[in-house]
Amino acid sequence: MTYFADLTPYAYLPSSVPPGVRALNVGWLEAGRPFTFGRPPEHFTERLGLLCRDQPRARSMGLHACDQPHPSGGPLVPVYADIGGESVMLGTAEVRVVSATGEWLVAPTLVHHYVTHHGYLPPPDFVEAVLAGRVAGEV
C-alpha cells in the first residue's frame, strides 16, 4: 500500500482533484508506521462502509493489500468487508469527503478495514465529514 501521513497534501492521483480544491490524505497506512488508535463514534463505521460500497471515487485497475499484521501472517489481499449484508472488495478506490472548512479528505477504501480490524481512528475532521454525509463529487 502507498503510505501518506494523515492530513498531508493529497498526491496519489492529483489529476483527479479539481483545480483550486485542497485535498488531504487520510488513512493511507503502512506496516511499521505509527497511526492513531481509538474507538470511533457511534454510526461512524456503518456510514464509512456505506460510502465505500456506494460512493467509491477514483477507481483503479490495481488492488492495494493490507500489510498490517494479520493472523494469517502475510499481507491480506484482496480485502473484503460485509457492508449492509453485501460483500464489498476494498482497496480498489477511494472515499472522498468534504471537511467543514471545504477541504477534500481522501482515503483509500481500505480505511474501513483499518478502522474495523486494526483500531485505526481517522482524524476528527474526517470522522465528522463522514457522519455529516458530505461526499466530494466525482471528477
Tens digits of residue pLDDT in 109-128? 999 999 999 999 999 999 99
Any idea what the Cα angle at residue 85 is, between residues 80 and 90, rounded to 5°? 20
Residue 29 included in any domain: yes
- Residue recorded with cell 505509527: 34
Question: Which residues, 6 or more positions from 85, have their beta carbon under 8 angstroms from its beta carbon?
Answer: none
Based on the structure, what is the number of domains in the chain?
1
Residue 138 included in any domain: no
Contact yes or no for 126/96 (Cβ under 8 A): no
Residue 8 included in any domain: no
Residue 128 included in any domain: yes
Structural domain containing residue 79: 14-132
Whether the pTM exceeds 0.85: the reply is yes
* Confidence band of 3 (pLDDT split at 50, 70, 90): very high
Tens digits of residue pLDDT in 22-76? 999 999 999 999 999 999 999 999 999 999 999 999 998 888 889 998 877 766 7
Residue 137 included in any domain: no
Residue 60 included in any domain: yes
Tens digits of residue pLDDT in 82-110? 999 999 999 999 999 999 999 999 999 99
Residue 76 included in any domain: yes
Residue 3 included in any domain: no
